[in-house]
Chain A
Amino acid sequence: MRYLLRRIGFYLVALWASVTLNFLIPRLAPGNPAETMMARLKGKISPQAQHALEIAFGVNHDPLWSQYLQYLNNLLHGNLGISITYFPTPVSVVISQELPWTLMLLGIALVISFIIGTLLGVIVAWRRNSTLDAVFSPLFTFFSAIPYFWLALILLYILGYLLNWFPINGGYDTSTTVPEWSPDFISSAIQHGMLPAFTIVISSIAAWLLGMRNAMITTLSEDYVLMAEAKGLSQRRIMLTYAARNAILPNITAFALSLGFVVSGALLTEIVFSYPGVGYALYQAVENLDYALIQGLFLIIAIAVIGANFLADLVYIALDPRVRLERN
């Protein structure tokens, strides 16, 4: 219990620190949003508009500490401010319209990739130097070594554009359905998500596979595994409950961390497939010096990462008796 309380205290401090950095870092970048917007519109609007934009975006001239207090106060009241990129849309609206796509796509891709990668890792370590090991380990390492952007573009071009197996863009078929809880929409969304998810899975599987494989190999040389074999336990039982259960701990930590980072979106996936999501919004926010949107998104990321770590701590307590024993 004391362990848990200490962890909670630690996470609260971490949250405060990230919220503060969140405020400071975007403000260290030079330039102002009106100027940036003018540059982006590249002569499509008249030069006089810069003055109007400066007024509209209301550049705040209060001292930094007073802006910081206003910012904390707004946060406590759940007010994330107005986005400049999507002016005058509130940041909360932008996040809520993009986040579900990111959570679904990346969440599912991460879980699939973690399960397949870890399972394969267990199997190839158990049968190391078999054909399985000789094929899967280098194959997935190869996929993860290809720059993701390029891999995704090639797969999109071949599977989507040339072969027409998958839709080539978007989160769903905008010409036939609208976002709602209908079978049409859900099947359309699944269909559109498959290729992006596939590219993420095959490019990220290697990390899980290799991590698990290496941890397994170390564990397999432990005395208790030898003892289990001497006791004549079934091969599967030794593989899963003796070796894998102990070897999976580092992968669980990595999984928790990745789970937290899911909310930061997958910019490259979104760009290649024109898939809706948080990554592109964050990219636009940074490009446009959109402080409010940057802060809003980083806040969500910070909360998610800290929350996921906390979750990992809890899972550790459940999985690893040593953690429980030491603390009591």
Chain B
Amino acid sequence: MAPHALFTRKTKKGLFALSFLLVFAVLVAACGGSQKQVSHKQVPLAIVPNTGGDFTRVFNPYQVSTTTYYGAQGLIYETLLFFNRLDGSEKPWLATSYHFSSDATSITFTLRQGVKWSDGQPFTSDDVVFTLNLLKKYPAMDLNSIWQFIKSVSAPDASTVLVTLNKPFTPLLWYLGGQTYILPRHHYSGVGDASQYADPNPIGTGPYILKSFTPQIYIMDKNPNYWQPGKPEVNEITFPAFDSNTSAELALNHGQIGWTGLYIPNIQQTYIKLDPVHNHYWFPPSDVVMLYLNTAKYPFNLLPVRQAISYAIDREQLDKVGESGYEPAASPTALILPANKSYLSPDYTNTTFQVDPNMSAQLLTSAGFTKGSDGIYADKNGKKLSFAINVVSGWTDWITDCQIMVSELKAIGINASVNTMAYDAYYNALQMGTYNVGMSYTFPGPSPYFLYDSLLRSSNTAPIGQQANTNFERWSDSATDQLLSQFASTTDPAVQQQAMAGIQKIMVEQMPTIPLTNEPYWSQYSTAHFTGWPDPNHQYALPSPFMAPDDEIVLLNLHPVG
């Protein structure tokens, strides 16, 4: 009987005893967990910038893997300047000042005195020159292609850095001052190929230092050597790993997360209502979602067709039905308002999109299209006005938007349809120009120049079949290029203003792409333990924890409650 001992009654009892023990152990553990220390120790702030699963120990701020660059940029490694993308203003940071030469071909940075790396070594112009030269040596790290514009970098003395450009190019300041994270020479010079270096134990000038790391959570403590006295006031921050928004949302509702940037549908009901005093969100506009029409193809090269499509779209419907009311209609100028308000041309202060199906009909008729017996417009050769709108499968809000647009277009006599694609294929079609119509985002910056430049400059496009980085609609117009160059080559705000007004005129009158809605920066936060967050009345930095170095500015403005 020995082989069947497992099934005898005696061992069954044993199994029962074992499972009781297990349940008991779990209960004890559960009780232990709920007895939170009621000391006056400050609660750590848990931040979830994004949900991407477990982390790996990578704190090189020039590694843009999908997981751990949050915290390395800004909290550990800092920039020379801070640009507030909500109003275009700039703040001195590691550099106390900068000035352009009168012909805009060189920039001189004066560095802050008394800044130390977290290991106690002084921060000097050597570090800045080293960092910039590192980006030249390893183009894989030069994420903003700044060396396309830089001729040379030098340090006349320990607190001055001179960057010489190969042509006048003022927008470089954003990438150079606002998005280049300064590395310590003594730490990075010995690591070999820095573009392949993970930097597991970072040494920065920023307000936080890495305290501990596991794949499920990493913890940062305040840097005692930080150059702003008394800051940061948040002693400890944690970054827990989450695989999905649903799971992070439950933790947020349980108060386990203090700051995050999730897309949460129906946020009033699902988050704010749980604790209306402490739970908050703020969604300022980040970029313009566009309906890209491939202007290298017929009939999208015809302005009346583009305008007719635009007149058919009810952007308020997109906002209300497709986007839970988070994405107000875009400005016809493609400016992000109110962030770019100072650049808004006086001609367009009150210009908004109108829904006007009659206008669509008139435009199509004037362009030689006639309505067939099936109610669909066709051109003189009988070719029907018919196209599919490409959108990414799984991006449910955009799919809803496309379905709304399709029904509106059908109503005016255009046979549109929705084409959901895997995003590789979708993005590839946009870049290669092998699409007709697609819904996609734009690339913003601290001034409207960046969105316009990526969207409209002819050097950012390519013929169909070749890769266009950002100018997906394939707009190629010398007047546009000239205006962009005019902005980029001067330091005179009045001339820049004029250039931007010119581009707005092109956007409104020639409609290279069709602006739809303003996509927001997502952010949710709780004031239960910390206050001082950016909100509509305090627009000092972007509120999303995934935007750097804004995350640093936000943390430096927080105060513990009580």
Contact = CB atoms under 8 A, between A and B. Distances in A.
A38 B66 contact: no
Contacts of B64: 37, 41, 45, 49, 53
Contact of A288 (B66, B198, B428): B66
Interface string A164-177: 00011111111110
Interface stretch (B28-36, B118-126, B224-232): B28-36
B94 interface: no
B518 to A, nearest CB: 13
A280 interface: yes
Contacts of A38: 427
Given A46-B144, A94-B56, A35 B7 contact: no
Nearest to B519: A43
A256 interface: no
Contact of A56 (B53, B140, B423): B140
Nearest to A88: B196
B240 A174 contact: yes
Nearest to B142: A52
Contacts of B376: none
A97 B250 contact: no
Interface in B75-92: none
Contacts of A56: 63, 140-141, 195-196
B527 interface: no
Contact of A97 (B179, B215, B423): B215
B54 interface: yes
B54 A280 contact: yes
A156 B195 CA distance: 42
Contacts of B442: 43
Contacts of A61: none
A103 B522 CA distance: 36
A276 B241 contact: yes
Contact of B443 (A43, A53, A187, A237): A43
Interface string B32-67: 010000000000100000011110111010011111
Nearest to A55: B140
A79 B280 CA distance: 48
B139 interface: yes
Contacts of B351: none
Contact of A89 (B195, B198, B287): B198
A30 B56 contact: no
B217 interface: yes
Contacts of A240: 4, 7
Interface string A35-60: 11111111111111111110110000
A84 to B, nearest CB: 8
Contact of A86 (B51, B58, B246, B441): B58
Nearest to A40: B66
A229 B18 CA distance: 35
B100 interface: no
B460 A47 contact: yes
A4 interface: no
Interface in A137-166: 153, 156-157, 160-161
B214 A179 contact: yes
A2 B95 CA distance: 77
A17 to B, nearest CB: 27
A22 interface: no
B247 interface: yes
B214 A272 contact: no
Contact of B66 (A55, A187, A270, A284): A284
Contacts of A191: 26, 29-30, 33
Interface in B131-153: 139-145, 148
Nearest to B423: A39
A235 B23 CA distance: 33
A168 B7 contact: no
Contacts of A171: 216
A188 B139 contact: no
- Give the interface centre of A29, A47, A168, A187 by most chain B CB atoms within 10 Å: A47
B248 A274 contact: yes
Contacts of B3: 241
B340 interface: no
A135 B142 CA distance: 65
A168 B179 contact: no
Contact of B250 (A168, A179, A194, A271): A168
Interface in B531-562: 546-547
Interface string A266-285: 00001111111000110010
Nearest to A165: B30
A87 interface: yes
A288 B422 CA distance: 12
A175 B286 CA distance: 33
B321 interface: no
A160 B64 CA distance: 34
B212 interface: yes
A306 to B, nearest CB: 27
Nearest to A190: B26
A31 B143 contact: no
B246 A89 contact: no
A85 interface: yes
B53 A280 contact: yes
A52 B141 contact: yes
B366 interface: no
A110 interface: no
Interface in B255-295: 286-287
Given A87-B58, A161-B254, A274-B243, A178 B214 contact: yes
17 contacts: A30-B424, A30-B425, A31-B428, A39-B424, A43-B442, A45-B64, A55-B195, A85-B65, A86-B58, A97-B54, A98-B215, A156-B250, A170-B216, A170-B241, A172-B216, A240-B4, A284-B66
Query: Shortest 4 CB-CB distances between A and B: which pairs?
Result: A56-B140, A48-B145, A174-B217, A187-B29
Given A40-B423, A157-B250, 18 more contacts: A30-B428, A37-B64, A45-B143, A46-B144, A48-B144, A52-B142, A53-B140, A83-B56, A87-B63, A88-B58, A88-B198, A179-B214, A191-B30, A236-B7, A272-B246, A276-B53, A276-B216, A280-B54
